[in-house]
Amino acid sequence: MADHEEKKQLLHLVFGGELKSLRDMEFSDLNGLDIVGIYPDYKSAEAAWRAKAQASVDNAHMRYFVVHLHRLLEPKPGPGPAE
């Protein structure tokens, strides 16, 4: 048995862009989205998000997000197919 267990890969996407309004989550230019990257765990994704958010602090409309891709790739089982 190994001395340590291999850490489970939990993918996270970091991306951002300029919002049309501070009240909504609609981007002003989808082609201009900044896809920062995909990271193997939340800790590294958060570090990337924090760096990008800090670098864009002068633009109030710029927002960066962390998306938990592992939750989308491994959905929880739900009810069976509708009949």
- Residue 74's pLDDT is what? 80
- Residue 80's pLDDT is what? 58
Of residues 58 and 80, more confidently modeled: 58
- Residue 78's pLDDT is what? 66
Instruction: Return the closest-CA partner of residue 9 out of 32, 40, 43.
Output: 40
**pLDDT, tens only, 27-77:** 999 999 999 999 999 999 999 999 999 999 999 999 999 999 998 888 677
User: Structural domains in the chain?
Assistant: 12-73 (3.30.70.2400)
pTM of the model: 0.79
1 vs 20: CA distance, rounded Å: 54
